[in-house]
Amino acid sequence: MRALKKFSVVWQCCLLLLFFVVPANVMATDTVVGFGDSITAGWPYQTYNGNGCSNCGGYEIFLQDFFNWTGRDAIVLNYGVPGEMSGDGLNRIDNVMLASSADYVLLMEGTNDLTFYVDAGTVAYNVYWMAWRVYLWGGKPILATITPDTRYGADWKNVGVANAWIRYYASVSSWITLSEQNAAVLPYWNSGYNYDGLHPNWWGYWIMAQTWYGDVLNAQ
């Protein structure tokens, strides 16, 4: 009996030691994954695949700063792949969820599909199923409207149609948080907030990060 009591005391001491020695945020850190094409990767400031890097890319750098400044214990990982089509994104989303154990996934795909005249409804359908895969893995999908493309004229790619479909899928899916990235950057797009008509510059990425930050808070 005395030995049992001694063991109990030692065990309690070990628990107390772990409580004071192990940082309180070790198990509390939220993993936020940026998933998409070159806009997610951060082109032109990052021209290679994100592959889960932290403190790299475009909007991800600013988003990490917002979390740090407000005391939110979160790490932002960049899984952007330049040139990716939405079908390819759908094929790789499970591997990213497995590798990252993401709590939140910031999804924005489709601009490359529209460049090659893939139907806008198909694009929205693909990103919807990406969101569903995230949800099945236990993550919170935040699905974005596609940002503008003015390289060769106004909305020649049917971005507006694709975004209408994306908004529809979000509206009928209570488990999806909609991120209005298009509406956030559009008022500033032609006032020095884009790099080449397709990709945001640093100012554009800052607006995107600010929008994503509010979306993560709303997805609690």
Convert the pLDDT of each residue in 162-210 to its tens digit: 999 999 999 999 999 999 999 999 999 999 999 999 999 999 999 999 9
Res 18 pLDDT > 80: no
User: Under DSSP, is residue 37 helix (H, G, I), strand (E, B) or coil?
Assistant: coil
Residue 192 lies in domain: 30-218
Predicted pLDDT of residue 153:
73
35 in a domain, yes or no? Answer: yes
Amino acid at 168: Y
Is-contact 105 76, C-beta < 8 A? no
Predicted pLDDT of residue 156:
75
Among the ranges given (8-12, 38-42, 75-79, 157-161), the one the predictor scored with the smallest mean pLDDT: 8-12
Residue 6: alpha-carbon gap to chain centroid: 50
Predicted pLDDT of residue 12:
45
Residue 88: alpha-carbon gap to chain centroid: 17
Rounded Cα distance, 30 and 216, in Å:
10
50 in a domain, yes or no? Answer: yes
Q: What is the CATH number of the domain that holds 187?
A: 3.40.50.1110
178 in a domain, yes or no? Answer: yes
15 in a domain, yes or no? Answer: no
Average pLDDT (54-67) is: 97
Confidence tier at 154 by pLDDT (50, 70, 90): low
10 in a domain, yes or no? Answer: no
153 in a domain, yes or no? Answer: yes
Average pLDDT (91-102) is: 98
Angle formed by the axes of helices 120-136 and 159-171, nearest 10°:
40
Beta bridge partners of 106: 34, 142
Confidence tier at 28 by pLDDT (50, 70, 90): low
Residue written as token pair 């640093």 = 202
Res 24 pLDDT > 60: no
Average pLDDT (129-150) is: 97
User: Under DSSP, is residue 108 helix (H, G, I), strand (E, B) or coil?
Assistant: strand
18 in a domain, yes or no? Answer: no
Is-contact 98 140, C-beta < 8 A? no
How many domains are there within the chain?
A: 1
